[in-house]
């Protein structure tokens, strides 16, 4: 609920509730692109394609709010149901998720989990899944970038590496961005989980223990209730610890596809043998790296009057008559029709 004592905070909370952006449109693994479930169109199609991605009620490209972090909606998004197929990868392979869009204002961490299905993922009960964290990147104080900034810099993509010693089998890969632009307020963070089914071949004997999706986060976690609008924030990535041997992020780069593929339905795996791991590195095209700084902000000269709004102050909106030029280092960003903020 918005604080009644402050119309400003009410405006900001409202903006956080209405601003919703994005889903994973496809993945690339070993140079092959696979279509994901497209919530904005497949939901309305009488015969949507059978894909590895889970379907969910996020037709608004929306998010799961912290007050629902204890409900099954946080597992693989709202009322999610397993994808009808899976993509086969080798342990150690890299999988790149592509988002259809990601707004610059939606800063925050990017986190990835795996959970064994103990059978076909296509028919798994989401509540039976136990997730372990294979990467989790927050804010890089040296590079001064959020993981979501790095994702944007790489064409709205994020690359995950399957542990090379992971036990072979069927897994749900849960990929997630948590947007923090409204997270200074209670219930203001936005979780955007996206799940796909994968079949992992090769590997070793490693099967880390995990937690139920409904146990990943609480609304009061320091990485969920967090103000990102401070200088060089020291951000604690929420959720369970990384598994042994994992890093917060592998180096990120642009990845391009050389072919398109179709996900495999249960029982048809011999028609779609696992790719050979040796092709992985040769098909990844590195254009940018994890440490790429965000693009420089181009500022225009302030008007002669010199009226300048300070960072985090209001700079626009219906009925607003104050300064519309932001202090150096910040730009005026529209949050809704009533409120624009220097960020």
Q: How many CB atoms lie within 10 A of CB 117?
A: 21
Q: Which is nearer to Cu ion, 21 or 26 (CB)?
A: 21
Q: Which is nearer to Cu ion, 65 or 93 (CB)?
A: 65
CB of 185 to Cu ion, least distance (A): 15
Q: Which is nearer to Cu ion, 83 or 193 (CB)?
A: 193
- Is position 343 an interface residue for Cu ion (rule: CB under 5 A)? no
- Is position 181 an interface residue for Cu ion (rule: CB under 5 A)? no
**Is 87 within 8 Å of 264 (Cβ atoms)?**
yes
Distance CA 63, CA 78 (A): 8
Pairing mode, if any, of strands 259-261 and 32-35? parallel
CB of 66 to Cu ion, least distance (A): 15
Q: Which is nearer to Cu ion, 19 or 38 (CB)?
A: 19
Distance CA 205, CA 202 (A): 10
Q: What is the DSSP letter of 151?
A: H
CB of 74 to Cu ion, least distance (A): 17
- Is position 20 an interface residue for Cu ion (rule: CB under 5 A)? yes
Q: Which stretch binds Cu ion (CB under 5 A): 12-20, 79-87, 109-117, 146-154?
A: 12-20
**124 to 163: interface string for Cu ion, x by CB under 5 A:** ----------------------------------------
- Is position 23 an interface residue for Cu ion (rule: CB under 5 A)? no
- Is position 21 an interface residue for Cu ion (rule: CB under 5 A)? yes
CB of 73 to Cu ion, least distance (A): 17
Q: What is the CA radius of gyration of the chain?
A: 21
| H helix or E strand, kind and range, residue 112 | strand 110-116
Q: What is the DSSP letter of 235?
A: -
Q: Which is nearer to Cu ion, 28 or 191 (CB)?
A: 191
Q: Which is nearer to Cu ion, 188 or 316 (CB)?
A: 188
Beta bridge partners of 175: 112, 194
Among 12, 15, 16, 19, the residue binding Cu ion under the rule CB under 5 A is 19
CA distance readout (Å), 328 to 73, 249, 310, 317: 41, 31, 9, 20
Residue 298 gets the label, from left (phi > 0), alpha (psi -120 to 50) or beta, of beta
Residues that bind Cu ion (CB under 5 A): 19-21
């Amino acid at each position: 609920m918005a604080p009644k004592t402050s119309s400003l905070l009410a405006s900001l909370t409202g903006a956080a509730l209405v601003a919703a952006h994005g889903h994973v449109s496809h993945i690339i693994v070993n140079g092959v692109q696979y279509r994901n479930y497209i919530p904005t169109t497949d939901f309305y199609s009488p015969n949507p394609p059978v894909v590895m991605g889970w379907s969910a009620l996020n037709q608004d490209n929306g998010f799961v709010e912290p007050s629902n972090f204890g409900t099954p909606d946080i597992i693989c998004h709202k009322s999610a149901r397993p994808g009808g197929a899976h993509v086969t990868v080798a342990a150690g392979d890299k999988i790149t998720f592509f988002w259809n869009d990601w707004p610059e204002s939606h800063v925050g961490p990017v986190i990835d989990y795996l959970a064994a299905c103990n059978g076909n993922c296509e028919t798994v009960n989401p509540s039976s899944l136990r997730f372990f964290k294979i990467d989790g990147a927050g804010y890089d104080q040296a590079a001064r970038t959020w993981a979501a900034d790095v994702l944007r810099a790489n064409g709205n993509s994020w690359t995950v590496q399957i542990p090379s010693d992971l036990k072979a089998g069927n897994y749900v890969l849960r990929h997630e961005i948590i947007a923090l632009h409204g997270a200074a307020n209670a219930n203001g963070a936005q979780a955007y989980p996206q799940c796909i089914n994968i079949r992992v071949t090769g590997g070793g004997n490693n099967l880390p223990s995990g937690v139920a999706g409904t146990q990943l986060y609480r609304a009061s976690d320091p990485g969920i209730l967090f103000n990102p609008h401070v200088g060089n924030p020291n951000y604690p990535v929420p959720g369970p610890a990384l598994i042994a041997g994992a890093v917060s992020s592998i180096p990120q780069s642009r990845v391009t596809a050389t072919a398109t593929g179709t996900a495999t339905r249960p029982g048809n795996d011999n028609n779609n043998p696992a790719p050979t791991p040796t092709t992985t590195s040769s098909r990844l095209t590195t254009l940018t790296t994890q440490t790429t700084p965000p693009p420089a902000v181009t500022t225009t000269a302030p008007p002669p009057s010199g009226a300048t709004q300070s960072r985090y102050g209001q700079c626009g909106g219906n009925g607003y008559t104050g300064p519309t030029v932001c202090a150096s280092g910040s730009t005026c960003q529209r949050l809704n029709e009533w409120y624009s903020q220097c960020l």
